[in-house]
Amino acid sequence: MKKTDELIIKTAEKLFYRTGFTSVGVDDIRDISGCSKTTLYNHFGSKDKLIVEVLKHRDSIFRSKLEDSIKGLNGKNAILEIFKWHKKWFSEVDYNGCLFMRAVEEMRETLPCVSDILMEHKEFVRHLIYSKLEDYSYKESLTNKLMVILEGLINISVVYKNDRDLNDQIEQDTINLVSEMMNRN
């Protein structure tokens, strides 16, 4: 990726993640990135195309980091690490939920392809979970349950972000629940 593309994408990603897609204008991205509006349009063509590139970039980084966190792990250890990796993400200062869900919530009508990007992102996670459940007799069902729990945890971590004690307790209870589920096979 070209340096200018990367600068624009990273700037736009931070702004979109912090305040949303519709509230961020091209002028905001221009002002913070230091790139001219002409440069932005020459590289991406439109704000919508930039949004798509931001989501693809974020997905690529997310996949790489999550896969690296479970490299060499399978079964219960891999699943617990997936949840622990998410828990670390939730504790980041700028954590603000799932950017892909937010894109769909805000842009579904005006940029329908974000729904496809969201589905690809979530399916990656679901397939990763499925692939790590080696010998579980109810693999498909367990995968679906773990996805529901994980997606709920992503949202709960936004809701209780300002109540660290309760949030930490919910996250730990979730990891304990997942551990118990994994032991039932």
pLDDT averaged over consecutive 10-residue blocks of the chain (185 residues)? 93 97 96 95 96 98 98 95 96 94 95 97 97 86 96 95 93 95 83
Neighbouring C-alpha atoms within 13 Å toward the C-beta of 95: 20
Cα 77 to chain centroid distance, Å, stands at: 21
Mark out the alpha helices in the chain (DSSP H runs). Answer: 3-19, 26-33, 37-44, 47-69, 75-90, 99-107, 113-132, 139-159, 164-183
Q: What is the pLDDT of residue 175?
A: 95
What's the CA gap between 146 and 140, in Å, rounded? 10
Rounded CA gap, 178 and 185, in Å?
Answer: 12
CA-nearest of 178, 17, 30 to 94 is 17
pTM score: 0.93
pLDDT at 184: 80
In single-letter form, the type of residue at position 162 comes to: N
Q: Which residue has the tokens 């709920």?
A: 152
Looking at residue 8, its pLDDT comes to 97
